[in-house]
Amino acid sequence: MNIAICDDNIKESGMLEETIYNCFHKNMICDCDVYTSGEELIKFLDNQKKVYQIYFLDIEMGKIDGFEVANFIRYRFENAIIIFTTCHSEWVYEAFEVNAFHYLVKPINKESVEKVLIRARKFLELKNTLFQFKIGKVIHTLNYNQIIYFESKGRQIIIYSMDENFVYYETLKKMMLRLKRTLFAQIHNSYVVNMEYISKIENHNVFLQNKVVLNISRKYYSEFMNRYKEFILEKAR
């Protein structure tokens, strides 16, 4: 689970970061990053270096306030969860104009953060935007839009994501049952691709945005092409 905090008060953002880490169980992975200005966060997101599932945004900051940052996030990542933090409860109505998930009034306590994180996680799971897998005793969570493609090697699955690659144990058949069919398609006995990352299809090959080229086997070609056409038509609506 990737979480971003954007607050120009370093002390308060540090306390919130510590609280968030304390709310996660020891077998759950949470990666929390702190940004001290709206400009810093927007610049980072503009380079698409990382995808966050949850954003904690202070409203009153420098040149760019929390509402402007929220509008940028909502435009780029429509499924992101935005939680505003502020000392002033009167901003609550403006917060929900950008479809904020929640609104926390400072000083923020651990109980309120824990409650909103539990709600946020359940919300993301219900929207079917998260993929979870276990490596050892640790449960990892990725957003679907972080995953470029999967490769199956025996009972091992390799996940190629935007940030890094992961290897865990599961059969491809079981993994496919957990995936969103409108987004992922099998092209080979060994490969399942995220159709969002397809640059082009040529000569029975899929060209992905990370410069990887994968072969489409005859067995899956017709079904895959039909699925991809449906995917493109749905995006155009």
CATH for 131-236, options being 3.30.413.10, 3.40.228.10, 2.40.50.1020, 1.10.1660.10: 2.40.50.1020
132/125 Cα distance (integer angstroms): 10
What tens-digit pLDDT sequence spans the chain (237 residues)? 789 999 999 999 999 999 898 887 655 678 899 999 999 999 998 876 677 889 999 988 888 888 999 999 988 887 789 999 888 766 666 766 778 888 888 888 889 998 999 888 888 776 767 888 989 888 888 888 889 999 999 899 999 997 789 999 999 999 998 888 889 999 999 999 999 999 999 999 999 999 999 999 999 999 999 999 999 998 776
pLDDT tens-place string over residues 90-122 = 666 676 677 888 888 888 888 999 899 988 888
As annotated, the residues of the chain forming the CATH 2.40.50.1020 domain(s) are 131-236
pLDDT the model gives residue 175: 92
As annotated, the residues of the chain forming the CATH 3.40.50.2300 domain(s) are 2-128
Q: Which amino acid is at 211?
A: K
Helices marked H in 98-217 — which ranges? Answer: 110-126, 172-177
Token pair for 42 = 């927007």
pLDDT tens-place string over residues 202-227 = 999 999 999 999 999 999 999 999 99
Third-level CATH fold of 2-128: Rossmann fold (3.40.50)
